[in-house]
Structure 1
Amino acid sequence: MEEWVGLKWHDYVTRQAMGEFPEYAVHLKDEARTLGVLFRAMGGDPALSLVTAEPRHFQIRRKFLQKLAGTHRKFELAWRDEESLRLPDRLALFPSRKVNRDLYLWLAALASRGEIQIHNWLEGNQAMVQDVLAQWPGLEPMYQRLVKHTLQWRPKPESLSGEEARREQAIRQALIHPGSVTDLPEALTDPWPVVLWLYPVLGRGKLNGQVIGDDNTSSKPGGLAKKRKRRRAERVDAFDKDQGLMLFRLENLFSWSEFIPVDRAGDDSEEDDADAVADDMDMISVSQDRREASSAIKFDLDLPSEENDDLHLGPGIHLPEWDWRRQGYREKFCCLQPLLSKESVATPLPERLKRPAQSLRRQFSALKPLRQWERRQLDGEELDLDACLERAVQHKRGIGEMDQKLFRQCKQNQRDLACLVLADISLSTDTYINNHQRVIDIARDGLTLLSEALTASRDPFALFAFSSRRRDHVRFHHIKSFDEPYNDTSRGRIEALEPGYYTRMGAAIRQSIKLLQTRPEHQKILLLLTDGKPNDLDLYEGRYGVEDTRMAVQEAHRAGLTPFCVTIDEEANEYLPYVFGSSNYVVIKDPTQLPAQLPKLYLNLTR
């Protein structure tokens, strides 16, 4: 009973102290698509990901109720860097859902102007506000409405004293009349957060002598509005698992501080409330203590020994890679290794796929080359009786010059196209869908059914798969080349595909471009099947991997190819329009439908 009363009391005090309006809350996940379109339409960098902002620590002057509830120590504020735009996960500051949503729109518009640096936080934000309002004057009423509500949310200058009051008055002046304030008075505490402005990247300096958002951990851009928060961390010496101190008073609030030894490199257990616990901790201590490693042996994704690996087809192919920071290629930076499976055996069409394969063969057989007679030719296999009859009539009537095209010839009506299918078989394909079928199993069925369909249409096609482990080992699995027939051997190689390592997508695309360029067909299609973003161990993640893949896709366009991406990644709408273009990709919402949808997508792509 006492615990129940305590929890209810805690919830009540926290709600009163927060000063928010939960009934009017707006969530980033619901507005992410609109914000992404607005940000890019207003000139924002299209390569930036839209993700949730991490809480920043502030040392502001708090009221008694806020101290009692432990609130107003951390705030989620908007900021951007070279890889992502970060916005609060939830906005409920104002007693209007429309105004809270307007705040999201305003922050996206402001962020389209650029990144804020620590040395010009005050002047930079005012300048960007002026720039936005000058270029988009229609936003002026929305901005004034947001300023009015923001001033009501902020502390009143008369409730503060000394330099804090003068600083608050200066911030209010800068909000009402952007560009009118050049300096803020210094004070012992941090300024109350300005929710209408952008903040510098976490961990880059101080505002008015106070550390704002000190953070030493790294960040990866994630999916659309997906929480991937950075934590404040410190390195400590090795500690004993029995260390720790619990301080509490049953009749009052309690606090605790305890070391929890977690093997970061080896522990992969799932904790449902791990994120919540991490959010509540002000500092996460990290040590290099490995004394417990003997209790569970963990291996990194190491390469198999040569005798157990697939057959290497040659010494490897060196390929360039695009470095977007340098804005140039790194020549011969990647080594792509063609492989042929040693474990594959000739396999007939699986029983489960026979019925859909038969339906697809019947549908695609209508696309195969047909022999058609071409009439009115200067020479050919036989006379064109209609043309001869028409000439005889013209001769009888004495009509001028006679038509000499009196023959007909039988020719093949050939579809002039070739397709290379490139499948991503990275480690993520080992995950299960609906707890009964792996992604790699679905991909194998999709490749098999598409191959059956293309065989019926007689379109030349090739099949390859790829994964990677750093830049010096990009694995390029040979399944079927253009010159090979599709038979039980090819089916066996598809069935032998297993999840590999990581996803260095750019190198695999560049090798596929080389193979397609050798084909004589007029239309050449590069069909990529994947389940996630490009990534690898050696910095090939985030924007670096996305930019390299985008450059490889542009190389394919310049080579006269048609690159098209089919993915089951739920977050693909965030980055694929930037990489492939808005009309050159498709997201399969239900991964189990990939085998059935793949041939249909090919039909729509080649008609």
Structure 2
Amino acid sequence: MEERVGQLWDRFITRMAHQGHPQAAVKLDQVSGPLGVFYRALGGNSALRISATTATLHQARRSWLHRVAGTGRKAELAWQDESCLYLPACLDLFAEPQLNRDLYFWLAALAGTPIAAETLPDTSWIVESQQRTCQALQRYQGLRQRYQRLVKAYIALRPAPASLKYDAAAQERAIQQALKVPGSVTELPDGKYAPAPVALWLHPDAPRCGGQAADGEISDRQASQGETRQAEQRRRQAERVDKPDEQGATLGVRHEADLFSFAEFIKMDRSTDEEDNPDQAESIANDIDKMSVTQDNSTVASRIKFDLDLPSAQEDDIPLSEGILYPEWDYKKSRLLSDYCRIIPMRSRHAVDAELPQHLQKPARRLRRQFESLSLSPQWIRGQYEGDKLNLDAYLDYRGSVANNPSGYTGDPRLYCQKRPLVRDIASLLLADLSLSTDAWVNNEQQVIDVIRDSVHLFAESLHASGDQFAIHGFSSRRRQHVRFNCIKDFNETYDAGIRGRIADMSPGFYTRMGAAIRHATELLSHQSAEKKLLLLLTDGKPNDLDRYEGRHGVEDTRKAIQQARSQGLIPFCITIDADASQYLPYLFGVQGYTVIRQAEQLPKRLPQLYMTLTGKLYAG
């Protein structure tokens, strides 16, 4: 009974202390699409994705109601780093939903506004925030009215200076003045407490990671979906520290006030998924303001390293060469690192001849009929001296040139269109991501790798029927010196039971060093003599690897590899089942260079259809 009463009281007092307006709440998921376009259109870094921020501790004085409820210690503020723009997962600050929506767009504009070169690194938070505001309003005049509405509504929510003590009142007057007239306040008065966080400005002390991840510590992402997806993306403030004494610290004084500042090292195993109460563990993690992590050379870490190690030579795929060296793009230095990555072409050791799986035979028969008709479809050829019909546009241009040219030039007399059988001269290379993330499950029914196998099976059946030249390869990686490039079908190989066996033997590998794989695929395609060359990338996530390839570095290198492929006349196109792909694929492939399959189980049916659509556009153009 006491526990039940305590729960009811906690919910009541927490609800009373909350100062938001849930009925007018706007979630980041609802505006992330237009917000990303808005942010990049205003000059924001195209490589940055938009993600939910995490609440951070502030030092402002709380109201008595917050103190009773035990809330109000943290605030969700916007900030950005080299890989992400972090915004609150939900905004319910104002009673009007439109104002909450406007606040998202204002924060995005503020983050996308560069600070002037003369701004010094030691500029105070209030001065820097005003400078950002002034530059944003100067560059984007259309935001002035929106900003003024936000300021008017926001100041009404902040404490009135007259209700505060002298030092707090001076701080609040300075902040409100800075909001109303940006640039008019040169410093923030000192006070016993920090001022209340300002929701219209960026974070005054944005979280930063205290160290880079060591090799082998970054695990491959799993394809997770559901209501907790956005919460899992939140950035946590962390620091990397040296391993302390195993004995931990000794608590000498047991005063209650000291308990809140005491930190003790506790050796805990967090490398496995077993947890008696996962919900409680997540709640505890959410209450921690800064997580300090260290590396422990224990038997558990050794086991994980062994699990991710390469298989023995007797069990591994057959290497076809000692390796091919390729460069990698270092975006920080703006140069290619020559001979940095090693591609190792491999072929399956255990693949055996196989027939098409039973559940794919019916859709394969239908696709073969569709693709067989592609080479028989007629095409209108323009610019002929004689033909089946007159090209009206060419005729009007011809008559105009005759009438307007006094020199007697009669223009191009090739005014006819002729219907001829379509001759398809195209070479396509399908590059499949075989990283660890493909070991995840789709709707708890089948694994991603099973969906990829089915898709590749139907893709091969379709292109074999059309007569188009095609190759199929898979890739995964374990650091830069071991990028596995699995040869499933070369251009010079005939599609048969042996190729079907290799497709059936595809299995999840390691990580996703996408740039090196694209460069090698580009090299293979460049040796084909076809008129059109299509590079299809089939993936379920972003570029990543055990080393620094995680994050911005991998994205920038992949983008550079795609640009290099286009410069050689290739047409790269990405098919992905990653729900977050719209955050980074436009930056990599362009807005017309990718498609997202929302339901992964639809991929086997959609992949051949996409190929037919893509090639149809190529020849129509």
Shorter-chain TM-score category? 0.7 to 0.9
Q: Name the residue aligned to 1:310.
A: 317
Could you tell me which amino acid in structure 2 is paired with residue 341 of structure 1? Answer: S
Q: Name the residue aligned to 2:424.
A: 415
Q: Name the residue aligned to 2:60.
A: 60
Offset, 1:258 = 8.4
Q: Given the superposition, is the C-alpha separation of residues 201 and 307 from structure 1 closer, same or farther in structure 2, using an over 3 Å criterion?
A: farther
Deviations 1:287-314 (A, max 9, x none): 5566684998773411112222111111
Alignment match of 1:159 (pick from 160, 163, 167): 163
Q: Name the residue aligned to 1:268.
A: 273
Q: Name the residue aligned to 2:9.
A: 9
Q: Name the residue aligned to 2:153.
A: 149
Q: Given the superposition, is the C-alpha separation of residues 526 and 132 from structure 1 closer, same or farther in structure 2, using an over 3 Å criterion?
A: same
3-state DSSP of counterpart to 1:525: strand
- Please say if residues 217 and 231 of structure 1, whose CA atoms lie closer than 8 Å, have aligned partners that are also in contact: no
Q: How does the TM-score come out when normalised to structure 1?
A: 0.85
Q: How does 1:223-302 map to 2 (within 5 A)?
A: 227-232=233-238, 235=241, 237=244, 261-264=267-270, 266-269=271-274, 271-284=278-291, 286=293, 293=300, 299-302=306-309
Distance 1:365 1:355 in 2: 16
Offset, 1:71 = 1.9
Q: Name the residue aligned to 1:127.
A: 131
Offset, 1:565 = 0.5
Q: Name the residue aligned to 2:549.
A: 540
Q: Given the superposition, is the C-alpha separation of residues 273 and 256 from structure 1 closer, same or farther in structure 2, using an over 3 Å criterion?
A: farther
Alignment match of 1:526 (pick from 505, 519, 535): 535
Distance 1:242 1:4 in 2: 37
Moved more, 484-493 or 133-142: 133-142
- Please say if residues 524 and 560 of structure 1, whose CA atoms lie closer than 8 Å, have aligned partners that are also in contact: yes
Q: Given the superposition, is the C-alpha separation of residues 495 and 243 from structure 1 closer, same or farther in structure 2, using an over 3 Å criterion?
A: farther
Q: Given the superposition, is the C-alpha separation of residues 14 and 85 from structure 1 closer, same or farther in structure 2, using an over 3 Å criterion?
A: same
Distance 1:572 1:514 in 2: 26
Work out whether 1:112 is the aligned partner of 2:112.
Answer: yes
Distance 2:52 2:568 in 1: 38
Could you tell me which amino acid in structure 2 is paired with residue 314 of structure 1? Answer: S
3-state DSSP of counterpart to 1:336: strand
Q: Name the residue aligned to 1:42.
A: 42
Q: Given the superposition, is the C-alpha separation of residues 57 and 462 from structure 1 closer, same or farther in structure 2, using an over 3 Å criterion?
A: same
Moved more, 234-243 or 496-505: 234-243
3-state DSSP of counterpart to 2:516: helix
Moved more, 226-235 or 454-463: 226-235
Work out whether 1:339 is the aligned partner of 2:346.
Answer: yes
Q: Given the superposition, is the C-alpha separation of residues 255 and 5 from structure 1 closer, same or farther in structure 2, using an over 3 Å criterion?
A: farther
- Please say if residues 426 and 531 of structure 2, whose CA atoms lie closer than 8 Å, have aligned partners that are also in contact: yes
Q: Name the residue aligned to 2:515.
A: 506
Distance 1:68 1:324 in 2: 50
Q: Name the residue aligned to 1:354.
A: 361
Distance 1:16 1:307 in 2: 66
Q: Given the superposition, is the C-alpha separation of residues 217 and 101 from structure 1 closer, same or farther in structure 2, using an over 3 Å criterion?
A: farther
Could you tell me which amino acid in structure 2 is paired with residue 10 of structure 1? Answer: D
Distance 1:197 1:93 in 2: 14
Q: Given the superposition, is the C-alpha separation of residues 9 and 476 from structure 1 closer, same or farther in structure 2, using an over 3 Å criterion?
A: same
Distance 1:118 1:360 in 2: 65
- Please say if residues 451 and 604 of structure 2, whose CA atoms lie closer than 8 Å, have aligned partners that are also in contact: yes
Distance 2:202 2:279 in 1: 32
Q: How does 1:345-384 map to 2 (within 5 A)?
A: 345-368=352-375
Distance 1:587 1:333 in 2: 31
- Please say if residues 415 and 459 of structure 1, whose CA atoms lie closer than 8 Å, have aligned partners that are also in contact: yes
Could you tell me which amino acid in structure 1 is paired with residue 195 of structure 2? Answer: P
Moved more, 120-129 or 421-430: 120-129
Deviations 1:343-368 (A, max 9, x none): 11111222222111111111111123
3-state DSSP of counterpart to 1:299: helix
3-state DSSP of counterpart to 1:318: strand
Q: Name the residue aligned to 2:466.
A: 457
3-state DSSP of counterpart to 1:524: strand
Deviations 1:399-437 (A, max 9, x none): xxxxxxxxxxxx985311110110000001111112221
3-state DSSP of counterpart to 1:11: helix
Offset, 1:17 = 2.1
3-state DSSP of counterpart to 1:182: coil
Root-mean-square deviation (Å): 3.2
Work out whether 1:199 is the aligned partner of 2:203.
Answer: yes
Q: Given the superposition, is the C-alpha separation of residues 242 and 592 from structure 1 closer, same or farther in structure 2, using an over 3 Å criterion?
A: farther
Moved more, 104-113 or 295-304: 295-304
Q: Which has the larger radius of gyration?
A: 1
Work out whether 1:180 is the aligned partner of 2:184.
Answer: yes
Q: How does the TM-score come out when normalised to structure 2?
A: 0.83
- Please say if residues 249 and 264 of structure 2, whose CA atoms lie closer than 8 Å, have aligned partners that are also in contact: no
Unaligned runs of 5+ in 1: 205-214, 378-410
Unaligned runs of 5+ in 2: 222-228, 385-419, 617-621
Could you tell me which amino acid in structure 2 is paired with residue 355 of structure 1? Answer: K
What is the percent sequence identity of the aligned residues?
Answer: 47
3-state DSSP of counterpart to 2:71: coil
Q: Name the residue aligned to 2:395.
A: none
Deviations 1:113-142 (A, max 9, x none): 037966343222212222222233232222
